Amino acid sequence: MALAHLRSRTLSGKLNILVVLSLITVNIYIVLSIFQVTNVTRTRNAISTKKPLETVNSDLSQLEAAEIARKMRNKTLQTMCAGDPARNDVWKLPEPKSVFHQIIVDEERKFLYCYVPKVACSNWKRIIKYIQGSLDDINTVQKMDHKKDLVFLDSFSKEEIDVKLKTYFKFMFVRDPISRLVSAYRNKFKENIVAFHKRYGVPIVKKYRRNLVEGNVKGDDVSFEEFIRYLLDTDTSDMDMHWRPMNELCQPCAVNFDFIGSFEYLSVDANNVLKTIGAESNTFFSTETTMV
């Protein structure tokens, strides 16, 4: 009922629910994520060191499903990127520096990781800090500092960036866009994150709340409908990175990633990447998963 009401009020009956969802996610944003095999699983414990990497014996069906999903995603991406003017050339992007700011560099292992918020990026950053030696305990539960001890691509010269983009192993991870959106909403508006409540919650409530009682609006009670209406009225380039389309953050057509894994097969795909970059044998994403 909420979606039907939102559709009638926001789009005046001209667009249906599928169009609303496409407006939220953008076409290629969806393409990168929707090709998943049924019985999708989610990672419950993102990181663990209980078993060494080489002894991880993932279920064969999961390995096969992850590979099929990855091949379909790559094939679709190639088709979608065929007409992109910035294909394989980041310097043709309107703002290449914004992409470089998302890419973490490991010069020793020669890899580039483009992080996407709400797609296990905190866990990946923890992994990277651990293998680089700046983090002693991979299972630490302390709040992640998303910048400290990490090197980003925008700190290099144009010549150095070109070399790294051509020669380093490049990877990113994507997630079902609707699942990512719900995760961002729950995290930023349903948890006690005052900064987000003030920056986004208060303006959203003031703009979209009907019969609003004037007074001390805290922005800590944004409804999902109000959040969606806000997204529909906001240009994607102005969105916070936690709900900005994944393709705009990492520009897969321009960067030409060697590996695009999925949150839905995080354990399988992540361990694939860890083997490729030569991570220590006691470093891996947990194979324990659960439905969500």
54-75 tens-digit pLDDT: 344 445 588 889 999 999 999 9
Q: Highest mean pLDDT range out of 8-17, 72-81, 283-292? A: 72-81
Other CB atoms closer than 10 Å to residue 107's CB: what's the count?
12
Side-chain half-sphere CA neighbours of 160 within 13 A: 11
Residue 190 has pLDDT above 80, yes or no: yes
Residue 152 has pLDDT above 50, yes or no: yes
> Contacts by 139-143 with C-beta closer than 8 Å and gap 24+?
139/47, 139/48, 139/49
Higher pLDDT, 27 or 121: 121
* Eight-state DSSP code of residue 143: P
Residue 18 has pLDDT above 50, yes or no: no
**Overall average pLDDT of the 108-112 stretch:** 97
**What three-state secondary structure class fits 212?**
coil
Q: Is 213 left (phi over 0), alpha (psi -120 to 50) or beta?
A: beta
Sign of CA dihedral 255, 256, 257, 258: negative
Which of the four pLDDT bands, split at 50, 70 and 90, describes residue 253?
Answer: very high
Sign of CA dihedral 271, 272, 275, 278: negative
pLDDT of residue 61: 83
Which of the four pLDDT bands, split at 50, 70 and 90, describes residue 17?
Answer: very low
Q: Highest mean pLDDT range out of 92-101, 123-132, 213-222? A: 92-101
CA nearest to 180, candidates 256, 77, 266: 266
Q: State both tokens at 153.
A: 């691509």
In angstroms, the first-to-last Cα distance of the chain is 23
- The pTM of this model reads 0.78
